[in-house]
Amino acid sequence: MPSLSEETNGRIETLMPGATIGIIGGGQLGRMMALSARYHGFRIGVLDPTPDCPVAQVADFQVTADYDDKAAIRELAERSDVLTYEFENVDADAIDEVRGSVAVPQGTDLLRVTQDRVFEKRFINDHGTQTALWRQVDDLDGLDNAIKEIGYPAVLKTRRGGYDGHGQVVVRGPEDLAKVHERDRLGTFPPSVLEGFVDFAFEASILISGNGKDFVTFPIVRNEHRHNILHLTIAPAQVSDGIAEEAKALALRLAKGFQLAGTLAIELFITKDGRVVVNELAPRPHNSGHYTIEACSIDQFDAHIRGIAGWPLPQPKLLGPAVMANVLGQHVSSTRKLIAVHPEWYVHDYGKAEVRQDRKMGHITVLTDDTQRTVDELEATGCWDDLRQ
């Protein structure tokens, strides 16, 4: 597990307007970072293989290449004052190689920890915070042993590269275990973790932002998924003060542990007996924080930009309750009609040229004084009726 070094973190120079922020990844998270960076007066470069990607549409320049193209990362670094990223699966070694020519205030330890579920869970537990019961699993024998310790049901996840439920198998009983054996009998078992299945009341998340020294939290929100993809975020989550305080406290423990610069998202399970259990971390702004753009005094992207620029961070205030609904490829044409019907709804479009099933194309945020009524209203539009099983 990488150790957090002084070298890596905690050395954040203050960046002034006019400086260039290089973003690795040209999707919606990078685009919203870039829009924030823009109004703060920064210039923006982006590395992404798709010409005219969502970030490029609002950036000063694009390096058009794959994310792991070392020469391209070097070019972005040389043309930027600071590097950041919009997703966690970037090549940490490649970033380390360019740190002589560009500031990387987030460091690369945060990346290395969050790229690997074993490192991540160990880090979370080492910082006094609950996860599901878990075991590292390197092969099928290890899986059988882990099942004996954890019991059914359990969730088998690849250590690296999984997202939105990809690379996951729910092991409900011996039949599912046999299926995993069958699938992997050719010796292709990927390094994995087995987690106990958390019988949660609901899923939630909390965002925290830092500038390496000071940290601010956003309110805990409730998340509803469909087909493993975030569908709705309801802000704030209706939770007891104790749960809200625990979520905030654990976020602060983790942020301090990372000497966090920028925004970190912490995905949570709230159990039926009121425990707050961390599912996973995302070392960047997060889909469940899009509501902050309209509903908070400072949003998750502003906080990210201020944090990596070494600026002080104001405490975010929730200005009022909000509901955010994702617009996936299959929802684009129906939700476009809402622009005319609901001028009071905030319709975001990420500028993606290619519409695909399940692709995140935009989102809609509604400010409301009754989140349940708003959820009902959103669903009643029929725009999110997925015909897919």
Q: For residues 152 and 197, which CB has a smaller minimum distance to ligand AMP in the complex?
A: 197
Tokens 């070019």 belong to 75
Answer yes or no: are the C-beta atoms of 293 and 316 closer than 8 Å: no
Q: For residues 55 and 325, which CB has a smaller minimum distance to ligand AMP in the complex?
A: 325
Q: Does 198 bind ligand AMP (CB under 6 A)?
A: yes
Q: Does 190 bind ligand AMP (CB under 6 A)?
A: no
Choices 121-129, 162-170, 249-257, 299-307 (CB under 6 A): range interacting with ligand AMP: 162-170
The C-alpha atoms of residue 159 and residue 138 are separated, in whole angstroms, by 10
Cα angle: 107, vertex 314, 289; to 5 degrees: 70
Q: Does 279 bind ligand AMP (CB under 6 A)?
A: yes
Answer yes or no: are the C-beta atoms of 247 and 206 closer than 8 Å: yes
Choices 29-37, 62-70, 171-179, 191-199 (CB under 6 A): range interacting with ligand AMP: 191-199
Q: Does 165 bind ligand AMP (CB under 6 A)?
A: yes
The CB-of-182 to ligand AMP minimum distance in angstroms stands at 22
Dihedral (C-alpha) 64, 69, 72, 73: value to the nearest 10 degrees?
A: 120
Show the tokens assigned to 243.
């749960």
Tokens 């400086």 belong to 19
Q: Which residue of 61, 87, 152, 197 would you call a contact of ligand AMP, by CB under 6 A?
A: 197
Q: Does 87 bind ligand AMP (CB under 6 A)?
A: no
Choices 54-62, 81-89, 196-204, 212-220 (CB under 6 A): range interacting with ligand AMP: 196-204
Q: For residues 88 and 280, which CB has a smaller minimum distance to ligand AMP in the complex?
A: 280
Number of residues located near ligand AMP, criterion CB under 6 A: 15
- State the DSSP code for 150: H
Q: Phi, psi (5° rounding) for residue 83?
A: -110, 140
Q: Phi, psi (5° rounding) for residue 387?
A: -80, -15
HSE-up (13 A, CA, CB side) for residue 108? 14
Q: Which residue of 195, 246, 299, 302 would you call a contact of ligand AMP, by CB under 6 A?
A: 195
Q: Does 280 bind ligand AMP (CB under 6 A)?
A: yes
The CB-of-215 to ligand AMP minimum distance in angstroms stands at 23
> What does the buried/exposed string (b/e) look like for 31-53 if buried means 16 or more CB atoms within 10 Å of the residue's CB?
bbbbbbbbebebbbbbbbeeeeb
Q: For residues 279 and 334, which CB has a smaller minimum distance to ligand AMP in the complex?
A: 279
Q: Does 75 bind ligand AMP (CB under 6 A)?
A: no
Q: Which amino acid would we find at residue 222?
A: R
Q: For residues 81 and 280, which CB has a smaller minimum distance to ligand AMP in the complex?
A: 280
The C-alpha atoms of residue 257 and residue 242 are separated, in whole angstroms, by 22
Q: Which residues bind ligand AMP (CB under 6 A)?
A: 132, 155, 162-165, 195, 197-198, 203, 225, 228, 267, 279-280
